[in-house]
Amino acid sequence: MGGFINRPIQPLQQSKVDQALVKMIATDFQPFTIVEDRGFRAYTAALDPSYVLPSRGTISKRMLPNLFEKVRAELQEQIRTAPAVCLTTDCWTSNTTTSYMSVTCHYITDFKLRSNLLDCFVVAESHTSQNLAQELSRVAKEWGIQDKIAACVTDNASNIVKAVNDILKWNHVRCFAHLLNLTVRSSVHQTEIQALILKVKSIAEYVRRSTVASAKLREMQLQMGQVQLRMKQDVATRWNSTYFMMQRAIEIKEPLVSTMALLNPLLPALTPEEWDITKEVCDILKPFEEVTVEMSSERFVTGSKAILMARGLQRIVAHRQRNPSTHEPVKGMVNFLAADLEKRFGQIERVRVLAEATLLDPRFKKHAFVIERNAEETVSRVVGAATHAATPTLPSTEEEEEEEGGTTVNPPSEPVPQFWADFEERVTTLRPGVQNPSTGAMLEIKGFLAEPLIPRKADPLEWWRVRALVYQNICTVMKTRLCIVATSVPSERVFSKTGQIITDRRNRLSPSKVRELVFLNANL
């Protein structure tokens, strides 16, 4: 038997492996210098001795840009077919003090919600409303979506709000998670609650910093038959990290109290009353954390949940007001939450794009609205939009002339005023000829609203896929509303990845390389 013959790798196979290598570098945040690492070269040679690793210069200057352009062109073609898009955007400064701006896009194709990163680029100019608007407009034009933007979701910063609302004239939606963050952070910054949080924080810092304390805590947990859990540390800018820290302290209260008693550090201990307050605060904050997580998803429809989530939190807080705590700091926190929720979310049913998304979600429809008038006005707007979708485009002068059959093109119909709606609906079937688009839209919305609600965890887009032919015009409107996401978290997530790319080992990456790597990481 002859030995194994090492055949040279074929050009096509070489190209295929090269592309897989570039994808790995982008997907796993690997540095270009990985191709010079001895271990990686030995591993590659063991897989296929005939494969020739490209140089890092070849990867950076030719292979990565080529893959970037290829993936970008494919996505542009896909997004151009979307009937409408929702954008999110945010800004971030790297550890090299370079300012970046990200723009993500969310849209419905084949009755599936898609999410893609359009761009992540350096903003060299100051973050004025005018400059931010110019950058957003540039991205929209490059991707051919400037005429199909259903909404743009951002945080509450005045410069970006002005850029989207006043300069670009796009539908602006304030990030739901950001608004909740402002509400909760303000509520826990009340004097008594903040003093309690600082006590828990000092204990967490001590236990995490001291090897003796950490070891003693583990020993106490073992003796008490508990799972070994570490204390968590909070981050000033993230209220939920404070919640997690306090919740963990509650979970390991007994071994933690024993540890602190044995070591006797010069730290103020929590009194029994303070432990009770800590538990109540965690119970109050738990639904806020759950809502934040649910509303930050990119894989599922979220914009249609905004009204329901806001009203749900208001009801939970109102229930606590009706059944007040025996502790004054907790009562003060609850009252603050109630007032701030009303200030930030009291008019959420008046946010048109969110209200229309809610109405068109077969899980909620009109049942998510607290104020009936808001629901009825939303129905009227959806009927108007469906009428517009069903109205033929005005023909040119030549097309207006009679065709061979002697028929003429009917002019588009105006939306039917509400006081005529009932009559038009009752007599439409008695009239010959083409059905009035307004009447058709009203019949569709009536049939849609009459259908039973689907389960809360069901996929609303799958429901629409099955009924698309039944409610054709309403379905057209739906595609411009259920693509709207509730938060700008997708753009924030881009920066967490960007921070992993710009590391000590890769701190000399040019902004163009960061842009290509982040784009590929998000979209491959």
Note the pLDDT of residue 514: 87
Per-chain mean pLDDT for the chain: 88
CA distance linking residue 456 with residue 398, whole number of Å: 52
Nearest to 214 by CA among 237, 231, 196, 202: 231
Q: Looking at per-residue confidence, does 287 or 497 come out higher?
A: 287
pLDDT value of position 286? 96
List pLDDT tens digits, range 174-222.
999 999 999 999 999 888 999 999 999 999 999 999 999 999 999 999 9
| Distance between CA atoms of residues 178 and 155, nearest Å | 6
Q: Is the pLDDT of residue 361 over 50?
A: yes
Least confident of 6-20, 102-116, 327-341, 493-507: 493-507
- pLDDT surpasses 60 at 421: yes
Average pLDDT of the segment spanning 276-303: 94
The pLDDT of residue 93 is 82
Which residues lie across from 108 on neighbouring strands?
113
Asked whether residue 320 carries a pLDDT value surpassing 70, the answer given is: yes
Per-residue pLDDT band for 418 (boundaries 50, 70, 90) equals low
Per-residue pLDDT for 428 more than 70? no
Instruction: Give the pLDDT of residue 97.
Output: 79
For 472-520, write each residue's pLDDT tens digit: 999 999 999 999 999 999 998 887 766 556 554 555 778 888 899 999 9
Query: CA of 44: how far to CAs of 34, 55, 61, 62, 291, in Å?
Result: 11, 14, 22, 21, 46
User: For residue 391, what pLDDT band results from cuts at 50, 70 and 90?
Assistant: confident
Lowest mean pLDDT among 74-88, 287-301, 483-497: 483-497
| pLDDT greater than 60 at residue 344 | yes
Q: What is the pLDDT of residue 437?
A: 78
pLDDT value at residue 9: 61
Say yes or no to pLDDT of 3 above 70.
no
Burial class, 381, CB count within 10 angstroms (exposed 0-12 / middle 13-18 / buried 19+) = middle
Q: What is the pLDDT of residue 415?
A: 61
pLDDT of residue 506: 56
Q: What is the mean pLDDT of residues 309-331?
A: 96
Residues 117, 105: Cα–Cα separation, whole Å: 6
Please tell me the predicted confidence (pLDDT) of residue 234: 87
Nearest to 85 by CA among 491, 396, 441, 483: 483
Confidence of residue 299 (pLDDT cuts 50, 70, 90): confident
Whether 352 has a pLDDT exceeding 70, the answer reads yes
Contact of 43 with 67, CB cutoff 8 Å: no
User: Considering the entire predicted model, what is its pTM?
Assistant: 0.85
Residue 247 and residue 253: Cα distance in Å, rounded? 10
The pLDDT, as a whole number, for residue 1 is 43
Helix (H) or strand (E) holding 520: helix 511-523
pLDDT at 451 over 80: yes
User: Residue 407: its pLDDT value, please?
Assistant: 37
Give yes or no for residue 430 having a pLDDT over 60: no
What's the pLDDT at 236?
A: 74
What amino acid is encoded at 309 in this protein?
A: M
How many angstroms from the chain centroid is the CA of residue 259? 41
pLDDT attached to residue 403 = 41
Averaged over 340-345, what is the pLDDT? 96
Strand order in the sheet with 172-174: 112-122, 99-109, 85-93, 149-154, 172-174
At 109 the pLDDT is 95
